[in-house]
Amino acid sequence: MPLHSAVALFYAAASLFAIVGAEDPYRFYSWNVTYGDIYPLGVRQTGLLINGQFPGPDIHSVTNDNLIINVYNNLNESFLLSWNGVQQRRNSYEDGVYGTTCPIPPGKNFTYMLQVKDQIGSFYYYPSLGFHKAAGGFGGIRILSRPRIPVPFPDPAGDYTVLIGDWYKSNHTVLYIFSN
């Protein structure tokens, strides 16, 4: 093989490697968890808000995305988020269930680092401690297919997050005490 062909082949191979080896995209979130008034049954009660929102913000992602979620716990109790249905590849310690992940102490922050991979669809996150789930702190997660792997159906005409749960007129502290 002439030298210039070998060099061209080398560059072709190198550029292919660079494309294949490109790092997966990152999405960064900063979430502030606070108490706030909610009225799920028309009665005021203390709820858990994320960035002032109840339910919390949706995560829109694409398969292979790295999700970097810095969560500030501004409650006066520990807080822990779980990522329901999201496969935790090589990082089960980020799953957010008590026993695999340490809770975020009051006044502290923790950065969850997840990579959504090999799955598409609708999922949700929720707080896994102390009946917090009855008071908010949850929201939707969407994982779309990458454009280069088209799904075999047309894009939906609309896309909404629907979260279904039980509601109470007592706050999570009271519910927790009565459940124990």
Ligand X SMILES: *[C@@H]1O[C@H](CO)[C@@H](O)[C@H](O)[C@H]1NC(C)=O
Q: What are the residues binding ligand X (CB under 6 A)? A: 32, 34-35, 46, 70, 72, 74, 76, 109-111, 171, 173-174
Give how far the C-alpha of residue 7 lies from the chain's centroid of Cα atoms, to the nearest Å: 45
CB of 52 or CB of 85, closer to ligand X = 52
CB of 109 to ligand X, least distance (A): 4
CB of 134 or CB of 143, closer to ligand X = 134
Q: Which residues pair with 53 in a beta bridge?
A: 50
DSSP state of 89: T
Q: For residue 82, which amino acid is it?
A: S
Residues with Cβ within 8 Å of 18's Cβ and at least 6 positions away in sequence, in order, are none
CB of 71 to ligand X, least distance (A): 8
Count of Cβ atoms closer than 10 Å to residue 71 Cβ:
21
CB of 115 to ligand X, least distance (A): 17
The answer to whether residues 70 and 51 touch, using CB atoms and an 8 Å cutoff, is no
CB of 136 or CB of 140, closer to ligand X = 136
CB of 84 or CB of 171, closer to ligand X = 171
CB of 34 or CB of 88, closer to ligand X = 34
CB of 5 to ligand X, least distance (A): 50
Name the burial class of residue 78, with classes exposed (0-12), middle (13-18) and buried (19+) by CB atoms within 10 angstroms of its CB: middle
CB of 27 to ligand X, least distance (A): 16
Checking DSSP bridges between strand 26-38 and strand 45-50, what pairing results, if any?
A: antiparallel
Alpha carbons within 13 A on the beta-carbon side of 61? 32
The answer to whether residues 29 and 109 touch, using CB atoms and an 8 Å cutoff, is no
